[in-house]
Amino acid sequence: MGVCGWAFLAACGGITAGSQSAGDGGNGSGSGGGNDPGSDRTGLWVQGVLYPTPVPQGQVCTFTPSPQDQMLMSGTLDVALRQIYLPTLLVGYRPDASHQGSDLDLQGGVVSVQDQGGTHLTSFTTLASNSVYAGGGTSSTVGSAPYRVTTVQMLDSSTSKSIPGGVAPGHDGQLTISIKVFGHLTDGTYLESPPFAFPLRVCDGCLITFPPSEMNPQLPQPNCANGSPQGDTSLVPCFTGQDTPIDCALCLSVPACNGGG
């Protein structure tokens, strides 16, 4: 799975204010719609996590920098398929009166992870390399607030493998991830967003689907004995093992996609 460019083609494959959480921007888990929820904001902020709409095989996923696009209220990581969580964020930036015209180099994020009981599990800094402009360029200027999309790792493999209580088929882990994105203006001023809290479900095999037509009823269930990637018309996730389901026939090299653990 790869990610490239500002338009964000994903091959199938400091100024600080109060905290916010998924959905605070007013977009919810459906289409945004309505007025720009960041139209009165200044500084740097995370508007939300963009929904990775699955596409037909051979096509690429496209993310646009718009607060009107569909957002995720929470995420899902299936460790049977993937060990890190790498979502696509919608980031907003509008300069205050003292930094009018200043471009922002968005450099990364500071991540903090807690389990469902509020116990701190880990913190780390992850890098990004996208720029958010004060105006013009190729930004989405809705309500005069420019937006950009960027990918930032919000869960590392070490933590996904060591969640308290463990993760197994039928036994999920529930995490809360907080991220603050940061960068520098062209005059050297450091900017950091308010923390953005995002719930994440970590599971083992929950995103793998087994259509009845692809299962052999004579074998232990579930199985994908009759599945084949050739001719399969199922939509492909933007990121296998993250947020959207995958047909078992499209991941047969993985034991869990054959019904095994």
User: Residue 210: inside a domain, yes or no?
Assistant: no
Do the beta carbons of residue 17 and residue 46 sit within 8 Å? no
- Can you read off the two tokens belonging to residue 110? 């500071």
**137 vs 6, 119, 147, CA distance in Å?**
11, 42, 11
User: Residue 223: inside a domain, yes or no?
Assistant: no
27 — pLDDT class (breaks 50, 70, 90): very low
Q: What does the alpha-carbon distance between residue 153 and residue 76 come to, in Å, rounded to a whole number?
A: 14
**143 vs 19, 140, 192, CA distance in Å?**
22, 9, 22
User: Residue 221: inside a domain, yes or no?
Assistant: no
Do the beta carbons of residue 79 and residue 203 sit within 8 Å? yes
Q: Which residues, in sequence order, are bridge partners of residue 91?
A: 46, 148
Domain range for residue 120? 2-203
List, for residues 185-213, the tens digit of each pLDDT value. Answer: 888 889 999 999 999 999 999 999 999 99
User: Residue 211: inside a domain, yes or no?
Assistant: no
Q: What does the alpha-carbon distance between residue 242 and residue 42 come to, in Å, rounded to a whole number?
A: 32
Q: Please report the pLDDT score of residue 230 as a whole number.
A: 76
Do the beta carbons of residue 36 and residue 212 sit within 8 Å? no
Which value, in Å, is the radius of gyration of the alpha carbons in the chain?
Answer: 20
What do you get for the CA distance between the two ends of the chain, in Å? 23
**Is a pLDDT exceeding 60 seen at residue 135?**
no
- Can you read off the two tokens belonging to residue 49? 């996590």
User: Residue 148: inside a domain, yes or no?
Assistant: yes
User: Residue 147: inside a domain, yes or no?
Assistant: yes
Instruction: Tell me which of 32-41, 209-218, 243-252 is least confident.
Output: 32-41
Q: Please report the pLDDT score of residue 31 as a whole number.
A: 46
User: Residue 174: inside a domain, yes or no?
Assistant: yes
Q: Please report the pLDDT score of residue 25 as a whole number.
A: 41
In the chain, the number of structural domains is 1
The average pLDDT across 138-153 equals 68
Half-sphere exposure of 213 (CA within 13 A, CB side): 6
Instruction: Tell me which of 112-126, 127-141, 209-223 is least confident.
Output: 127-141
Q: How far is CA 26 from the centre of its chain?
A: 17
User: Residue 237: inside a domain, yes or no?
Assistant: no
Instruction: Tell me which of 27-36, 49-58, 111-120, 229-238 is least confident.
Output: 27-36
